[in-house]
């Protein structure tokens, strides 16, 4: 009787690959419940074992010139998907080079297996987005950290294969770039506008980082184009308002950066920058703790831009230094000065009300220094403008030059 039962059990015992897959699922559920790293380690091991067994079956079948069965193809895709998800969780928890390289070796195979038969739901889009986000994070880390010292010991994982900043940028850009095209094919899906806006915003931020890293002016043109599309894509739903506000804030900065490159050619960009800063500044709540830092920085930027436009218009109307007793002829310039003064005063009052400890904790030390310098310039100009209206002597040419130097120092906080 026992030999018969043994043979019966052997015939109906679960496939080892399926058994490994089930173990992987159980381990992943435990990890998601308590985030213990040992469960994630077991998850990756089990899904990798499952995948290896399925790939071995495929190799044997192809050696016999047999096509893949639909069941085997589906199981391989499923194993790649769960392994990629686990590796994404591992990199999110520990963003190390080794973990990223493990992900980079696996995830391309998932999309290759999917091919043109990708699922008609958010699974494909979310995987594209999450993988691209991982590369985006690594790219930001790579360009913000100094290169390793030639005398420092090398990372063993680097000895055979390494992901350079340009590799990370390209992988992130390709991943994000595929999503809008995929969204076009999923026209019946809800939430498309929000996802399109997020992806376009990510692409724009990548280009801004590219500009800061390499000084590539074309990257700013591309970033602004992506940002403008993103702004149009975000809906008016409350869930999108924070994303829209962040997008507008960075778009305003991108416009100013492009203006700085060639003020004569890109003069309209200064107007655009001011317009977007005004828009987003009104959306921040300066009394709200979580938003106070963003409101202060945005207000400082807006005041700086308004003063910059005032100075340009002043120079345009008075090619030489303003002589004693002369009044600026451009009323728009005076309006910019008044607005810059009012916005700057609001920002300075909020900053002055914060303790040194809070300023340091919020990372506002440098902003406060620049705001104090800007406020000194604004107060001096406003005083002299009022004095001129009373036919009192105006600033001397030397004091004008001093204020221009102070202004240049005040805009270095971006």
Contact between 179 and 195 under an 8 Å Cβ cutoff? The reply is yes
The answer to whether residue 265 sits within a structural domain is no
Domain boundaries, position 73: 15-117
Higher-scoring residue by pLDDT: 172, 289: 172
Residue 194: predicted pLDDT: 87
What mean pLDDT comes out for the span 278-295? 85
Contact of 254 with 224, CB cutoff 8 Å: yes
| 294, part of any domain | yes
Gap between the Cα atoms of 412 and 209, Å rounded? 17
Instruction: Render pLDDT for 19-49 as a digit per residue (tens, 0 to 9).
Output: 999 999 999 999 999 999 999 999 999 999 9
What is the reported pLDDT for 116? Answer: 76
- The confidence band for 383, taking pLDDT boundaries of 50, 70 and 90, is confident
H runs (alpha helix) in 115-237: 122-144, 165-185, 192-214, 217-233
Whether residue 36 lies inside any domain: the answer is yes
| Mean pLDDT for the chain overall | 83
Instruction: Give alpha helix (H) positions in 64-161.
Output: 70-93, 97-114, 122-144
Q: How many domains does the chain have?
A: 2
Residue-wise pLDDT tens digits, 39-96: 999 999 999 999 999 999 999 999 999 999 999 999 999 999 999 999 999 999 999 9
Q: What per-residue string of b and e applies to 308-344 under the rule 16 or more CB within 10 Å gives b?
A: bbbbbbbeeebeeebeeeeebeeeebbebbebbbebb
Cα 312 from Cα 270, distance rounded (Å): 11
- Contact predicate 232/222, CB 8 Å: no
Confidence of residue 395 (pLDDT cuts 50, 70, 90): very low
Query: Is the sign of the CA dihedral 251, 252, 255, 260 positive or negative?
Result: negative
End residue of a domain, out of 117, 144, 173:
117
Q: What is the pLDDT of residue 348?
A: 92
Does 20 map to a domain? Answer: yes
Q: Which of 117, 134, 168 is the last residue of a domain?
A: 117
**Range from 57-71, 141-155, 201-215, 386-400 carrying the lowest mean pLDDT:** 386-400
Nearest to 209 by CA among 253, 170, 169, 262: 169
Q: What are the tens digits of pLDDT across the range 321-375?
A: 433 334 444 788 889 999 999 999 999 999 999 999 988 888 889 998 999 899 8
Separation between Cα atoms, residue 240 and residue 283, nearest integer Å: 13
Residue where a domain terminates, one of 84, 117, 150: 117
pLDDT bucket at 187, cuts 50 / 70 / 90: low
pLDDT in tens, 195-223: 899 999 999 999 999 998 888 899 999 99
* Cα–Cα distance, 39 to 22 (Å, whole number): 14
pLDDT at 219: 94
Query: Is 413 within a domain?
Result: yes
- The answer as to whether 1 is a domain residue is no
- Within 10 Å of residue 70's Cβ, how many Cβ atoms? 8
Q: Is 296 a member of any domain?
A: yes
Least confident of 138-147, 341-350, 367-376, 400-409: 400-409
237 or 396, which is more confident: 237
Confidence check: pLDDT of 403 > 90: no
Query: What pLDDT shows up at residue 5?
Result: 39
Would 5 be classed as within a structural domain? no
Residue 189 — pLDDT band, cuts 50, 70, 90?
A: low
CA 381/CA 310 separation, integer angstroms: 10
């Amino acid at each position: 009787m026992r030999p018969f039962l043994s043979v019966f059990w052997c015939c109906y015992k679960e496939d080892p690959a399926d058994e490994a897959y089930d173990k992987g699922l159980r381990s992943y559920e435990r990890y998601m419940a308590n985030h213990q790293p040992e469960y994630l380690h077991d998850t990756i091991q089990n899904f990798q074992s499952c995948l290896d067994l399925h790939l071995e079956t495929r190799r044997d079948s192809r050696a016999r010139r047999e096509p893949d069965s639909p069941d085997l193809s589906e199981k391989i895709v499923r194993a790649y998907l769960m392994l990629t998800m686990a590796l994404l969780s591992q990199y999110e928890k520990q963003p190390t080079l080794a973990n990223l390289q493990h992900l980079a070796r696996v995830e391309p195979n998932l999309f290759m297996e999917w091919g043109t038969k990708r699922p008609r739901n958010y699974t494909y889009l979310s995987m594209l987005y999450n993988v691209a986000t991982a590369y985006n994070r690594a790219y930001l880390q790579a360009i913000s950290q100094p290169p390793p010292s030639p005398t420092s010991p090398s990372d063993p994982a680097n000895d055979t294969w390494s992901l350079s900043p340009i590799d990370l940028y390209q992988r992130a850009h390709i991943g994000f770039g595929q999503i809008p095209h995929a969204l076009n094919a999923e026209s019946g899906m809800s939430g498309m506008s929000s996802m399109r806006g997020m992806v376009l915003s990510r692409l724009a931020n990548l280009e801004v980082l590219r500009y800061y890293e390499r000084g590539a002016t074309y990257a700013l043109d591309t970033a602004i184009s992506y940002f403008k599309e993103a702004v149009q894509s975000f809906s008016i739903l409350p869930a999108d308002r924070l994303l829209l506000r962040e997008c507008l804030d960075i778009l305003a900065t991108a416009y100013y950066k492009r203006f700085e490159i060639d003020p004569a050619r890109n003069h309209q960009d200064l107007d655009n920058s001011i317009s977007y800063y005004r828009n987003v500044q009104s959306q921040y709540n300066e009394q709200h703790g979580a938003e106070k830092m963003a409101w202060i920085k945005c207000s400082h930027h807006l005041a700086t831009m308004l003063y910059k436009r005032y100075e340009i218009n002043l120079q345009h109307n008075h090619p030489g230094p303003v002589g004693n007793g002369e009044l600026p002829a451009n009323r728009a310039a005076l309006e910019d000065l008044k607005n810059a003064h009012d916005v700057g005063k609001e920002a300075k009052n909020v900053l002055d009300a914060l303790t040194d400890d809070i300023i340091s904790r919020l990372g506002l030390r440098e902003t406060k220094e620049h705001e104090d310098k800007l406020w000194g310039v604004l107060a001096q100009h406003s005083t002299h403008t009022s004095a001129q209206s009373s036919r009192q002597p105006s600033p001397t040419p030397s004091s004008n030059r001093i204020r221009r130097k102070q202004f240049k120092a005040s805009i270095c906080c971006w």
